[in-house]
Amino acid sequence: MFNATIDVATTLLFAGFCHAMMAGVLLLFWRNRRTGVGFGWWVACEALVATGQLLALGRAWSPGIAMVLIANTCLIFSVPMVETGLRTFLGQQTRVAMLRIWGLAGIVYLGWLLGLLAGWETATRAMWFSGGLLLQAGFAVNYVLRIPRSGAMRLPINLMLTSVLMVAGALLARLFVLAPQLGGTYNIQHDTALALLNISSIFSGFCRTCAALMLVHTRIEAELRRTQARLEERANTDWLTGVASRDHFETSVALLQANAARAGCPVTLLLFDIDHFKSINDSHGHQAGDLLLQRIGQLTRDAVRDGDLVGRLGGDEFAVLFYNCDLSAAEAVADRLREQVKLLPTPGKAVGLSGGLTLLQPGERFTSAYQRADMALYAAKGAGRNQLKALAPPLPA
């Protein structure tokens, strides 16, 4: 008849190697230095479990007390590392929590050590050892359960929870198996519960490793998204005035025009520039010029509606795309803006604006509308500045 038993030594060997490989994989990621804070605790945890399990197996060849002492030290202190790593990673490393986690590990360790020195039976020591680990795992379960789960964090946190629950379950089972053996004959070689605990530690370590890698991946991805958004914002915005950059203005025109064509509403382009801006720069300095550009950018943004687009095309030249706005309505807004600019406090005389307006034809390219608005602007300058001129689009042939 077939009779299968799980032997403790084989599970220790197998689990020890599995944890060593997990530690190796985590170490490779840790070395690239993008893993962030907390990750090192998880590397250390897997390394300690591997060392503890392989040294526990080593007792077969070196039966002295040293092996078991080092092995159990590694195993007890590997447990708090999971929660410490997670708290550090998530920025929840409070002093009270750290004291509780490491203090408890210290008490379990000292109790076990005293038991060893006092000559407790192996079963009693194993009971204390597993009970202490269970208590630690219980606190870790309680902590992981309370971590908010949302989006990409959900799966890795659930994997962490699975990892600690698995170990807690196996420890609980071991306590049930050990209890009746207290005071009786206990043979660690045939402790099936211990063998199952070793096997469960492999699955638990696998969940932890996946969770650690996923957490790091989530963090790196979030960082990349933030950087990309910052770069896009920087590329789309004029550094001085905060209105759209020329590039962004030009690309947005096509989009707004397509929307307007679908909705059947008019779009008007205004180009304006500051009269004699060079002389303001020359007589009051570039800083005064910059300040004026900033104020005019702000006034223009305040003057237009939400769906309109304001941009600085270069130097002292601004543009506005009025959405769902015909030529005369846009001219009225531009004229009000021109009056407001005249009232701006300046070190010299009042500032004038010259502007050119034109209505965009459906599907018309920005460059051709720009040329028309520029001709109108040129006409306004030629007619004595500080005024607006409008140029209608050519009639269809």
Ligand X SMILES: Nc1nc2c(ncn2[C@@H]2O[C@H](COP(=O)(O)OP(=O)(O)OP(=O)(O)O)[C@@H](O)[C@H]2O)c(=O)[nH]1
Q: What amino acid is encoded at 320 in this protein? A: V
Of residues 315, 347, 362, 384, which one binds ligand X by CB under 6 A? 315
Site for ligand X, residues 44 to 63, rule: CB under 6 A: none
| Total residues at interface with ligand X (CB under 6 A) | 15
Tell me the CA distances in angstroms from 346 to 59, 286, 292, 303, 341, one per residue in order. 87, 13, 8, 20, 10
Let me know if 1 is exposed, middle or buried by CB neighbors in 10 A (0-12, 13-18, 19+).
Answer: exposed
Closer residue to ligand X, CB minimum distance, 30 or 318: 318
Of residues 28, 99, 107, 240, which one binds ligand X by CB under 6 A? 240
Site for ligand X, residues 323 to 382, rule: CB under 6 A: 381
How far is Cα 237 from Cα 249, in angstroms, rounded to an integer? 9
The angle subtended at Cα 371 by Cα 369 and Cα 376, nearest 5°, is 95
230 binds ligand X (CB under 6 A): no
Closer residue to ligand X, CB minimum distance, 213 or 296: 296
Give least dist CB 354 to ligand X, A: 7
The residue length of the chain stands at 397
Closer residue to ligand X, CB minimum distance, 83 or 275: 275
Closer residue to ligand X, CB minimum distance, 281 or 298: 281
Q: Are 46 and 26 in contact (CB under 8 A)?
A: yes
Site string for ligand X, 271-300 (x = CB under 6 A): --xxxxxx--x----x--xx--x-------
Give least dist CB 359 to ligand X, A: 24
Of residues 46, 83, 316, 364, which one binds ligand X by CB under 6 A? 316
Give least dist CB 316 to ligand X, A: 5
Q: Which residues contact 245 (CB under 8 A, 6 or more apart)?
A: 235, 236, 237, 238, 311, 312
Give least dist CB 342 to ligand X, A: 15
Stretch touching ligand X by CB under 6 A, among 249-257, 268-276, 294-302, 322-330: 268-276
Give least dist CB 376 to ligand X, A: 14
Give least dist CB 369 to ligand X, A: 20
Give least dist CB 338 to ligand X, A: 14
Residue with the CB atom nearest ligand X in the bound state: 289
Give least dist CB 294 to ligand X, A: 9
Closer residue to ligand X, CB minimum distance, 63 or 314: 314
Closer residue to ligand X, CB minimum distance, 26 or 377: 377
Closer residue to ligand X, CB minimum distance, 316 or 364: 316
Site for ligand X, residues 127 to 156, rule: CB under 6 A: none
User: Can you give the binding site for ligand X, defined by CB under 6 A?
Assistant: 240, 273-278, 281, 286, 289-290, 293, 315-316, 381
